Structure 1
Amino acid sequence: MLSVELLRPLLRAAWGPDTCDPVGREQWRPDNPARSQCGTTALVVQDLLGGDLILGEVHVDGAKAWNHYWNRLPDGTEVDFTSDQFGSGEVVVGGHVQHRPPGPPRRCREQYELLRQRVFNALAPSRPA
């Protein structure tokens, strides 16, 4: 059965500058692979584990700098696979359920599809035929 513990290393291995939000691509680095991966990652996690998307804000010096996504699993557990991307002074605040429209995302569609393909391919050997 697919679990958070199994999924975490697969996501980390699948992240790259080509799967992050283009707005944050300049900040992506191999030593901080979770940077700008939250949106695509939250969508792939929802595809695999279900549950809700949660949308919060990242504040820097008390002002909103950008949005941040994570997941609430069907059992109510909140999991944020990209929480380690934040540096000192970057604080996630709030968080509410964000409805996911049907179909692929309008923003970051290519990044989402690439990340999804990598993770699903990594899972393929362990999934029953």
Structure 2
Amino acid sequence: MLNVELLRPLLRAAWGPDTCDPAGREQWRPDNPARGQCGTTALVVQDLLGGDLILAEVQVDGAKVGNHYWNRLPDGTEVDLASDQFHPGEVVVGGRVQQRPPGPPRRCREEYERLRQRVLSALPEAAGR
């Protein structure tokens, strides 16, 4: 049965600069593969496991520097597969359910579709383990 623990390594293996939010691509590094992956990752997790998208601000010294997404699964468990991306001093503040518009995302559509396809392609292999 598909679950977060099965998805976690598949997503991490699928991340790259080409699945990262273009606004933060220059900060993506192989030693910090989660950087800029939260939006696309949260969408793929929602596609496969359902639940809600949660959106919060990322702040440095009290000033907003970005956004951060994660998931609340149908059973109420919150899962943030890109939480290890943050640099010292970056703080995630708040968090509210974000309604997903119908259809593909308007922002980062290519990155989302690339990540989703990589994960879907790896699922049959992972399920056979």
What is the distance in 2 between the residues matched to 1:45 and 1:100? 13
| Aligned-residue identity in percent | 83
Which letter maps to 1:19?
T
Task: Map 1:1-129 to 2 at 5 A.
Answer: 1-126=1-126
* Unpaired stretches in structure 1, ≥5 consecutive residues: none
Deviation at 1:63, TM superposition (A): 0.7
What is the distance in 1 between the residues matched to 2:125 and 2:31? 28
Q: Cα–Cα, structure 1 residues 31 and 126, in superposed 2: closer, same or farther, change >3 Å? A: closer
Deviation at 1:3, TM superposition (A): 1.2
Deviation at 1:125, TM superposition (A): 3.0
What is the distance in 2 between the residues matched to 1:126 and 1:17? 23
Which letter maps to 2:42?
A
CA RMSD of aligned residues (A): 1.1
1:65-110 alpha-carbon deviations (Å, 9 max, x no partner): 0010000000000000000000110000100000001110000000
1:39-85 alpha-carbon deviations (Å, 9 max, x no partner): 00000000000000000000011111001000000000000000000
What is the distance in 2 between the residues matched to 1:61 and 1:90? 8
Which letter maps to 1:12?
R
Aligned pair count reads: 128
TM-score (norm 1): 0.96
Contact 2:6–2:126 at 8 Å: present in 1 too? no
SS in 1 for 2:20: coil
SS in 2 for 1:48: helix
Deviation at 1:127, TM superposition (A): 5.2
Which letter maps to 1:65?
V
TM-score (norm 2): 0.96
What is the distance in 1 between the residues matched to 2:114 and 2:106? 14
What is the distance in 2 between the residues matched to 1:79 and 1:127? 21
Runs of 4+ in structure 1 off by over 6 angstroms are none
